[in-house]
Amino acid sequence: MSAAMSAAPVLDPAALKVVRRGSGAPVLLVHGSAADHTTWMAQLARPPQGLAVVAYDRRGCDSAPFPPGVVPETAHHVDDAVALIRRESPGRAVLVCGSSFGGVVALELARRAPELVAGLVVCEPPLPPADTVSGAPPGFGCAFDRLVATAGGEAAAEMFLRTVLGDQGFADLGQRVQGVLRAMWRQIRADMIALARTRVAYTDLSAVAQPVLLIGAERSPAYYDSTLDALARALPAARRARIPDAGHAMHIDNHRAFSGALLEFARDIGLTGGR
């Protein structure tokens, strides 16, 4: 595919669906796959004291679809986040919190536009634990596409969600939420394409000088720990945290502990005061 066909214009920030809550130090919340801004409803409903949280729908959601013929790239999401930060927080660096694939976007944002990022909170990004390891199970994308063709997109989305969350984590969602997330299969596929085309070299991450909080969850599949370990070794100013009684959707499963960790980190790096 030609560069012209794969390029996508930066979205006008005014075209992005954005929700803002709270006052104080700015925090950009970047959601993962099979999600939109509503995944942060607990943080939006009760913003951590002293933080102004901004949640938005990433490109690929129904509110901001990719143009026809465009190959999704992580760079598109970074460009959109840059434009949004410059509009929402002109002249001020922000704390960026990314969940799952949103964590990949956050890391790339810090590499490409470090002047906009005061710190990072990265929650279980779906990256390989080493540069020599594939970022997804072999054939996973092909299996997803086969299910789309034979059983429909919602069946493919369920396979993805069971892989990411584990069978118990998927069951814990409940039937109503399962149905909502299955319907997001097009966004899931777009993120899978973008992730497959992303090459994060761990040696390059030493350039990310900002403080980074790497968060795992007690009930998440074990493979996330290997990636968090690798990131902790590569990032010069990284620390680890673990959210108890929670799975991959830790900001929902145990939102009080998650918001507490977010606020503590913001205080530790000097974005907001008090204890």
**Residue 85 belongs to a domain:** yes
The predicted model gives 84-90 an average pLDDT of 93
**Residue 221 belongs to a domain:** yes
**Residue 142 belongs to a domain:** no
**Residue 168 belongs to a domain:** no
CATH number at residue 105: 3.40.50.1820
For residue 3, what pLDDT is reported? 39
pLDDT digit string (tens) for 190-243? Answer: 999 999 888 878 988 999 999 999 999 999 989 899 999 999 999 999 999 999
**Residue 192 belongs to a domain:** no
**Residue 170 belongs to a domain:** no
**Residue 186 belongs to a domain:** no
Q: How far apart are CA 164 and CA 187, in angstroms?
A: 15
pLDDT band of 16, cuts 50, 70, 90:
confident
- Count the domains in the chain: 1
Full domain range(s) for residue 36? 3-135+200-268
Residue 170 pLDDT > 50: yes
For residue 11, what pLDDT is reported? 65
pLDDT digit string (tens) for 230-271? Answer: 999 999 999 999 999 999 999 999 999 999 999 999 999 999
pLDDT band of 81, cuts 50, 70, 90:
very high
Closest to 28 in 3D by CA, of 115, 119, 126: 119
**Residue 256 belongs to a domain:** yes
